[in-house]
Chain A
Amino acid sequence: MVRVTFLPNNENIEIANGDSLWETILKAGIRPNSICGGKGICGRCKVLLKEGITEPTVQETELLSPEEIKKGIRLACQTRLYNNCTVEILPENRTGLQDIFPLNRVDNAKDFKSSFWLDANVEKIFLTVDKPSLLDQRSDWGRIKEALVRKKEKNLNYLQTPLPLLKKLPVLLREADFIVTVVICNGKITALEKGDTADKVFGMAFDLGTTTVAGYLIDLKTGKEVSALSKTNSQISYGDNIISRIDFTQNKENGLAILQKEIINTINELINETIQNTGISRDNIYEITIAANTCIHHLFLGIIPIYLASSPFLAAFNRGLSLKAKEIPALYLSPETNIYMLPTISAFIGSDVLAGILFNGMNDREEITLLIDLGTNGEVILSKNGELWACSTAAGPAFEGIGISCGMRAVEGAIDRVKLSKNTINRHVIGNGNPKGICGSGIIDLVSDMLRIGLIDKSGRLMTKKECPSGISEQIKNRLDIKSGENIFLLVKENETEEGKEIYLSQKDIREIQVAKAAIASGIKILLREAALETKDIGELFLAGSFGNFINIENAIKIDLLPNISLKRISLVGNAAGKGAELALCSRRIREIGEGIYKDVKYVELSTHPNFSKEFMETISF
């Protein structure tokens, strides 16, 4: 046995000789940073070995600097332990998993555009059931049904009653002194509660993203959103992108079960936090709806996702699915709670996109609308008179701040807005503290302003100090520098940052941005062409994505990320997927619409599209 001590908490864990430190860390419940999911490619899972320092592996010598290796820094995924050791996981190399963030709440009644939106799949009816006597020997169930008919004045013969409920019925009815509330879901009686609980009808809507999971608690009697929380998807330690996770299910024993458990844990934590914050009982959550990208959708259900990721790219199924909480292992809800999974569209276009279409009512808009979801996959959806086209653009995570030298997600410490002129530079930091890095919206602002004043040329080349155009003040000019042989623009000096490391944008970062924006812009162009439309025909553009709320639209147009249309026609819709899942929770009609349209969305495969390379090359410059 080998003993591993984790600093700073001095927690001990015992493992078998030769076990991997990566797996030990995961077992200890710590979530290291990772892009590749423990394959020794990304170099993110750095740990500091204080005792029991191991010999560096080939990958470690490639990915770590000589100073780091000398200090005892190793990659967790490359380290196998044969001696007792003490390990410190550096704070910047942990993913912020404890972070449950409240989301901005909205007034659904105002926000949801459909008039028929409140039509929930769950109904509760309070009943005063006739007490039995020798003169009234109807069965327990018979008298409940009669009370129901009396109350609802309609024939309820179709109502089924599951056996588990019938088992509880005689005792429960008497304990409740024949005063009960009936829960009807999916046209079946699913629960019987003592007393009058008719006003406690809740459901939760979830949006399962690759990076972030959002959970919303809805009062199904009013449609009101009671709570909205988001949390990092714990699967992130197994790779920060879908491909790495699919790979994990393919190459790791139990990989699928591990990833399924992680997403369920994430959902459980959101449920627990929601319950704690609101004081609502778990038993009063009767239904949840789930929108997700197709990979996470499959992982949640425990379906092997590997065929999503290689040609010809197929999902196991697309249609909507109703199931019970008890069918999902260790999901912390009452066993009979209904789960509704919205339909997916294709291997790359998930139910999150369908939810976005439903939320924005794109299926029945007369005018031409475009929905852009600025996530890692950057989905684009176009509608024309109810006809729908969709593509997935593989934009990469650059706009989420990932893969950029000093990039980070839009959380505390991120520079989210920048204003640069020839003489001055201003920035805004989320939380108003010292900056730690720059997030997508800040990058868009910075690149846009650097283009405007000529620090970046049309081809995307960053000027050197020598090439700096005239009229730029010394103060700004001196920010053009060279770091490890590469041209950079220094945004924040090291003494002004939280971690004492300078924040800059490098030439390579600009190239990453160019690829990401060209992917989205060429996706838009190709969809427009498929529909025989032009940019000017776009009546309304919905910009979705959790970071879409902070983005400066004018700057996004200037760098050609968004098409050049009037600002009035662009609306930020926030997490459209989450809102669509809420809508599906509140409205059976919306579900029917979703079930009706998912097959009709025309999926356009960009990677084999004859115009893709051409459009991509045309949009890659500024």
Chain B
Amino acid sequence: MNNLERISEALQKGEAEKITELVRLALTEQRSPEEILDNGLIEGMNIIGVKFKEHEIFLPEVLMAARAMYAGLDVLNPLLAQTGVKKIGKVVLGTVKGDLHDIGKNLVKMMLEGTGFEVFDLGVDVSADKFIAAVREHQPDIVAMSALLTTTMVFMSEVINSLQSADLRKKVKVIIGGAPVTQHYADQIGADCYSPDAATAAEDAKRLIKYS
């Protein structure tokens, strides 16, 4: 097993300290930061995503893995900035107005970051105005919205309408998700994509910006 595989494995086990060590070790082996990111950290996060989707692992293990991923990123980020490696895309993310659920949304954030996106997390109970302001400010490729209640998912359509009237709709792709959301609902309100879980959301995001 090479050190990149070890990084992926340590990430899956949530061993943050070991990751820091292994990433440093890999750098001394003259591996590029991009290679370590892609074949170590992102590789591990992808496996975590699949296992979570299949119920094999659960929230705590995903969070541990995410913590380990961030530990690795802490070492790599300064180097990646130096070499001028760009994030693969930008996402504005939030739970819609009236809804305070954030665990699912945070998972999506981790998976997106693990996949190489820059994520602007607006938090929970985010109004359409706040989404619009964030889109203007950050000029993201994707707007991702979460809702856990049937009573609050209606605000997703409000955000899409606001994007339309602010003439921003064509500039972004919209992903929606959350327990009551369906493909049918996404079609109905004119979202570009419905993602049933966090791992799929990251895959969908890549697909939407045509990054492969």
Contacts and interface: CB of A to CB of B under 8 A. Distances in A.
B84 interface: no
Give the top 8 A-B pairs by smallest Cβ distance, nearest first: A310-B98, A607-B100, A247-B150, A309-B151, A507-B55, A311-B98, A508-B55, A311-B125
A402 interface: no
B99 interface: yes
Contact of B60 (A247, A310, A607, A621): A621
User: Contact size class for A?
Assistant: 20 to 34
A63 to B, nearest CB: 9
Contacts of B149: 243, 309-310
Given A616-B103, A620-B58, A620-B59, A250 B151 contact: yes
A34 to B, nearest CB: 13
Given A243-B149, A243-B150, A311-B125, A459 B61 contact: yes
Contacts of A511: 55, 58
Interface of A: 36, 39-41, 58-59, 62, 243-244, 246-247, 250, 306, 309-311, 459-461, 485-486, 507-508, 511, 514, 607-608, 613, 616-617, 620-621
B156 to A, nearest CB: 13
A459 B60 contact: yes
Contact of A58 (B150, B151, B184): B184
Contacts, number: 72
Given A62-B183, A607-B101, A243 B151 contact: yes
Contacts of A246: 151
A514 B61 CA distance: 13
> B54, B59, B99, B101 — which one has the most chain A CB atoms within 10 A of its CB?
B59
Given A62-B183, A607-B101, A620-B60, A36 B55 contact: no
A259 to B, nearest CB: 14
Interface in B52-91: 54-61, 63
A613 B100 CA distance: 12
A461 B58 CA distance: 8
A38 to B, nearest CB: 12
B99 A617 contact: no
B57 A39 contact: no
B203 interface: no
Given A41-B180, A41-B182, A620-B59, A310 B150 contact: no
Interface residues of B, number: 27
B106 to A, nearest CB: 8
Interface in B126-152: 149-152
Interface residues of chain B: helix, strand, loop or mixed (majority): loop
Nearest to B59: A620
Contacts of B59: 617, 620
Contacts of A58: 183-184
B102 interface: yes
B9 to A, nearest CB: 17
Contacts of A59: 182, 184
Contacts of A508: 55
A508 B197 CA distance: 14
Nearest to B51: A461
Given A59-B184, A459-B60, A310 B99 contact: yes
A13 B74 CA distance: 68
B182 A486 contact: no
27 contacts: A36-B150, A41-B180, A58-B184, A59-B182, A62-B183, A243-B149, A243-B150, A244-B150, A247-B150, A247-B151, A309-B151, A310-B151, A310-B152, A311-B97, A311-B98, A311-B125, A461-B57, A511-B55, A511-B58, A514-B58, A607-B100, A608-B100, A608-B124, A613-B102, A613-B103, A617-B59, A620-B59
B130 to A, nearest CB: 14
Contacts of A514: 58
Nearest to B187: A58
A508 B56 CA distance: 9
Contacts of A306: 151
A355 B15 CA distance: 48
B41 to A, nearest CB: 22
Contacts of A311: 97-100, 125
B170 to A, nearest CB: 26
A306 B125 CA distance: 16
A320 to B, nearest CB: 27
A617 B151 contact: no
Contacts of A613: 102-103, 106
B151 A459 contact: no
A36 B55 CA distance: 24
